[in-house]
């Protein structure tokens, strides 16, 4: 069983069927699962994408750096919202960012994150890496490595990694286990290339699974999951 995990949630997954904004029942379901893990003594860090608010590549008229900055702020909004839903379910939370947000968040440091984990708090890592050109995938791997997580839990709309897009190809085959090298070589859509290479270099395993499936987060932590294990050995 994992003792410290980093859970990556996509912004779109939190939006539910609306695909934008927040779907409170979806977020509450996630919160209840994380509460079960925290009660079992497992430390949970969380990174959330910003896709329910902002898709940075969608405009031709906005500078890439500015588009990415808007995306970082979207992840801050997501983390503040989700952390409040977590609190409503009886957990203590903290939101950390790599840039100052006034009184909204605290600045990220490994020491601060560890202190919060020692107090059984769920720690949200908002704002990506704080730099443009790096996705929330890369921020996820970076934070996982920094906090020395046992694994990354990648909760997606699709229930694992396939050899082709299952929405397009009904005969797409799902991998039960795949090496990070193969993910990179075959350009399998788990996380982007920068994040994949960092996973490989830092030997950070990933477990990719569907958020929709009942109790999928709890099951994944306990090794009973139907997704794809990305190995790094």
Q: Phi/psi at 222 (nearest 5 deg)?
A: -90, 10
Predicted TM-score (pTM) of the model is 0.95
Q: How confident is the model at residue 57 (pLDDT cuts 50, 70, 90)?
A: low
The shares of helix, strand and coil residues in the chain, as percent rounded to the nearest 5, are 40, 20, 40
Q: What is the pLDDT of residues 39-50, one digit of tens each?
A: 999 999 999 999
Say which CATH architecture domain 4-231 belongs to.
3-Layer(aba) Sandwich (3.40)
Q: What is the pLDDT of residues 113-168, one digit of tens each?
A: 999 999 999 999 999 999 999 999 999 999 999 999 999 999 988 899 999 888 89
Identify the bridge partners of residue 94 per DSSP, sorted by sequence position: 123
Q: What is the pLDDT of residues 179-206, one digit of tens each?
A: 999 999 999 978 999 999 999 999 999 9
Q: How confident is the model at residue 1 (pLDDT cuts 50, 70, 90)?
A: low
Return mean pLDDT, the chain.
Answer: 94
Between CA 5 and CA 49 the distance in angstroms is 17
Between CA 121 and CA 206 the distance in angstroms is 22
């Amino acid at each position: 069983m994992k003792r410290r995990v980093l859970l990556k949630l996509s912004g779109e997954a939190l939006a539910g069927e609306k695909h934008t904004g927040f779907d409170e029942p979806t977020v509450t379901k996630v919160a209840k699962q994380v509460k079960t893990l925290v009660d079992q003594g497992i430390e949970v860090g969380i990174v959330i994408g910003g896709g329910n608010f902002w898709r940075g590549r969608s405009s031709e008229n906005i500078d890439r750096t500015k588009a990415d900055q808007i995306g970082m702020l979207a992840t801050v909004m997501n983390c503040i919202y989700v952390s409040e839903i977590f609190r409503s379910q009886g957990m203590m939370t903290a939101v950390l960012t790599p840039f100052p947000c006034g009184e909204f968040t605290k600045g990220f440091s490994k020491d601060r994150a560890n202190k919060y984990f020692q107090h059984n708090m769920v720690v949200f890592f908002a704002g990506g890496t704080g730099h443009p050109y790096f996705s929330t995938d890369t921020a996820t791997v970076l934070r996982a490595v920094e906090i020395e997580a046992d694994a990354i839990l990648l909760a997606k709309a699709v229930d694992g990694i396939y050899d082709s897009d299952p929405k397009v190809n009904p005969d797409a085959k799902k991998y039960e286990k795949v090496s990070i090298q193969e993910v990179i070589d075959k350009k399998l859509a788990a996380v982007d290339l920068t994040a994949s290479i960092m996973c490989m270099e830092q030997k950070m395993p990933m477990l990719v699974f569907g958020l929709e499936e009942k109790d999928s987060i709890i099951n994944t932590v306990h090794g009973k999951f139907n997704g794809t294990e990305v190995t790094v050995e």
